[in-house]
Every structure is written in structure tokens, then in C-alpha cells.
A and B are shown apart, each in its own frame.
Chain A
Amino acid sequence: MTPLDVPQPLPPAPQAIGPDLAALIACPRCDAVYRAVQPGPGERAVCARCNTVLIAPRRRAGQQLIAVAVAVVVLVVAATLAPFLAIEVAGRSNASSVLDAALAFAAAGPVAMLALAVAALIVFIPVLRALLVIYVLGPVVLDRPPAPHAAAAFRLSEELRPWSMAEIFVIGCAIALVKIADLAQVHFGPAFWMFAALVVLVVVQDGFMCRYSVWKSLER
């Protein structure tokens, strides 16, 4: 029994370049080449030079990732329409949904294009990423051949990762709340808690995802 999360150094690549390049793995951050050795579930293989995690397989990661992705889609769609914050001042009140927040810029003329960007960062891109993960991993989990263009779909999902900002938006809600706390009474709406759950899911999703294992499974 090996302890969890103990980094396993990979053996360096053999000196003579054999024909079997598929057995090698290159660190994307520093270009060091290793002979790929699949660590056990829960273990990690890291680059000896720059400590980048190269392989980190988990048991049943595929099913878990699909479950998380489905939850993300449901939560984002629900949270987009329900109010996430409500304000009350001198008898007047207003509730705001994520869609309202994105559209706040649309009314303001010169900054209208920000509306589209905000909507993309907190709604469209997270949902698109979740759908791509379902599309790519669905056939893999069911032991079917990969879906058409699965490689391109997974690459797109990975490239979109830094642009998916739902979790940053949640922290933004908390700051906005403190900023106007002495101006008005503010309540969290149901969508705020949905988005908070979403933050946890996004973190879980990135923790479970072993890119190397996904690429291996798409190779067949």
C-alpha cells in the first residue's frame, strides 16, 4: 500500500531514441523527457526538474468528472435566472440575477461590450467546458470508441480553463455585499448558494482531472 499523493519521480528517457515515442512523456513547462510510468490510483508522477504534476490518475475519475459536469450545467443555468442578491433601502427593494449583472454594462453605452464578456466569463464558458467534458468522457466511460473530434473538443476545454471565472464572480458577490452593507440591507438569494456550490465543484473538477489519462484514453 503506497501513501496517497506521494510524488513518484519518473525515470528519465532512455539514451538511444527508440521508435516508440509513445512511451515517452515531455514536461510541458520545462521540456524534460521521461519514460512514462503509470503511477497507481491516487499517486502522482511529477517532473524532477520543475515539479509540474505530469500524471495523476484516480479511480473512476471519468464517472465523477461527468457527474460534476452535469451538476455544473444545471447549477449555472438555474443560478443565471434566479436572483443571487437582493437589496432593500428605505422601503424600496431590488433583486438581481447573474443575467442582470451581465446586462448592467449593456445599458451603459460605451462599456456595452463588457456585458458580453462578463456573461461569457461567468456563464457561457463554464457551461461550454462542462458540455465538452461530457462529450469527451462519455464514450470513454461507456467503453465506446471516442466521439468524433473528441481530441479537438478536449483541447478546447483545456484552453478555456483560465477563462472560466464563475468562482471569481462568487467572491465578487461577497465584496460587493460588504461595500454596500452600510448603505442598504442586503440578502443572499438562492442563486448565490448555487454559485457557492459551483465553486466547490470547479475545484473538485480540476483536482480529479488527469489530462494524461484522458489523452491516453482518446488514443485508441
Chain B
Amino acid sequence: MEIAGTLRTAREMGLVACTSCTRVWPAGTDRCGRCGHRLHTRAPLALQRVWAWWLVGVIAYVPANLYPMLSTRTLVASQEATIVGGAIEIARHGNWGIALVILTASVAIPLGKFLAIAMLALGVRHGSALSGSRRQQLYQVVEYIGRWSMIDVFVVAILASLVQLGAVASVSPGPASLFFALSVIFTMLSAQSFDSRLIWDAEREGRRA
């Protein structure tokens, strides 16, 4: 249901909105009187912060793939597996489904997140082929899916605590688990720093131009 023409933003009305509790205040108010949240018409340096977290997220993702995620020691052999190496190993045993899940969760989703955040941030500056509501949906998907990448770190923790059978078999976490966790956390912070109101500002200005 479109309410044409009359829809205005808090900024256009000379107000500042609280993103924490949705209350509006006269522009220039410092803190929300209802919830105590800091008020900003638009988060200051929002894009710089997005890019800073994004960059450390990408950087942490490199060693996450180079170092082993898990090292397994059994009676007959001992091996260390990286994320991709482990998935290939599982696929070789015929477990295609699991290999696909691992590759999706640890490779496709993180790379997709990096791409999506970069697209959203670039779209604010340079315009985007996608409509505002499409980009808003993309942002919500990134926010929702970001936490789920942590699943890999949890799997490593579970395996390492469970498979402690002395000489028979034991699993211990590799350094990649730390870098992977950091990469997930940094990417979540990057997505949280993004002020989605910027999507709609750019769209309005684009329409006027």
C-alpha cells in the first residue's frame, strides 16, 4: 500500500529519530529521552566504519583458509585439514551433501557477505541498479545470515571436546578456527555499522536528480 507524496523522513521534518526505540526528537537533541541511546540523524562516519570492519574481516578470512581448522589423530594416521581441504576429503568419501553444507557455510556465505556489504556501501556513494527495497532486503539477509557462519567454529569446538579418546582418536582445534571466528565477528560488526537509512536517502536524491 503506497502512501504517495506525503511520506517524509524524520530528517526532512527537522527531527532526529532514535534507531533504538523509534521515538523522534527535535533535530540536534543529543540523547534519546526515552531509552538513552545516542541520537544521530545519520550515523557519523558510518561508511568508513563499515569499510574498516569489512577490511579486517576480509584479512582475517585469508589465514582462516590457509591454516588447518582441525587436526585429527587416530591410531593409524594423523592429519590436519583446512576448511576447503576438509570438505574435499569428505566429498571423496562420498558424503557430497555434508561437503556441500560445509562449503556453503564456510566459503560461499562468507564471500557472499563480503560482496553484499561492499555492494551496499558502494551503492550509497555511487548509486545502484537495485531498488531501495531490494537493497533493504539484501541488508536484512546479510544481517540474518551473518551469525550463522559461526556454526563452523562451534562444530570444531564440539568435535575437539567430544573426540578425546586417548590414543584411539583425538581432535584438536587449529589456528584457522580463531581467524575464522574473528572474520565472522568483524563482518557482523561491519554489517551492524551500516546505517540502512542511507539506502533510502540515496534513492530519494536519485529520483530528484
Residue of A nearest to B37 (CB): A155
Residue of B nearest to A178 (CB): B98
A90 to B168, CA, bound (A): 8
Range of interface residues on chain B? 35 or more
A163 to B146, CA, bound (A): 11
Interface code B7-43, partner A: CB below 8 Å = 1, 0 otherwise?
1111101110111111111100000001111000000
Say whether B129 faces chain A, with CB atoms less than 8 Å apart.
no
* CB atoms of A114 and B173 under 8 A apart: yes
* CB atoms of B22 and A48 under 8 A apart: no
Q: Please, which residues of chain A bring their CB within 8 A of the CB of B175?
A: 110-111
Q: Please, which residues of chain B bring their CB within 8 A of the CB of A113?
A: 178
* CB atoms of A33 and B10 under 8 A apart: yes
A212 to B25, CA, bound (A): 16
* CB atoms of B150 and A215 under 8 A apart: no
Report the minimum CB–CB distance from B161 to chain A (whole Å).
4
* CB atoms of B13 and A13 under 8 A apart: yes
Q: Please, which residues of chain A bring their CB within 8 A of the CB of B146?
A: 162
* CB atoms of A54 and B22 under 8 A apart: yes
Report the minimum CB–CB distance from A105 to chain B (whole Å).
6
* CB atoms of B158 and A31 under 8 A apart: no
Q: Please, which residues of chain B bring their CB within 8 A of the CB of A114?
A: 153, 157, 173, 177-178, 181
Say whether A67 faces chain B, with CB atoms less than 8 Å apart.
no
Q: Which of B7, B93, B174, B177 contacts A12 (CB 8 A)?
A: B7
* CB atoms of B20 and A158 under 8 A apart: yes
Say whether B60 faces chain A, with CB atoms less than 8 Å apart.
no
Q: Which of B2, B98, B166 contacts A179 (CB 8 A)?
A: B98
Q: Which of B23, B26, B154, B172 contacts A172 (CB 8 A)?
A: B154
Q: Which of A2-50 contact B (CB under 8 A)?
A: 9, 11-13, 15, 17, 21-22, 24-33, 48-50
Q: Total A-B residue pairs with C-beta atoms closer than 8 Å? A: 221
A173 to B159, CA, bound (A): 9
Q: Which of A12, A31, A89 contacts B10 (CB 8 A)?
A: A31
* CB atoms of B200 and A104 under 8 A apart: no
Q: Please, which residues of chain B bring their CB within 8 A of the CB of A165?
A: 147, 150, 154
Q: Which of A89-126 contact B (CB under 8 A)?
A: 89-90, 92-94, 96, 100-105, 107-108, 110-111, 113-114, 117-118, 121-122
Residue of A nearest to B135 (CB): A50
Q: Which of B93-109 contact A (CB under 8 A)?
A: 93, 98, 101
- Knowing that A92-B166, A100-B162, A104-B172 touch, tell me 5 more A-B residue pairs with CB under 8 angstroms: A93-B165, A101-B157, A101-B158, A118-B154, A179-B159
Sample of 24 A–B contacts (CB below 8 Å): A26-B9, A28-B17, A28-B20, A30-B132, A30-B199, A30-B200, A92-B165, A94-B162, A96-B158, A104-B156, A104-B158, A105-B160, A114-B178, A114-B181, A151-B35, A162-B146, A165-B147, A168-B154, A172-B151, A172-B154, A176-B158, A186-B162, A211-B21, A215-B21
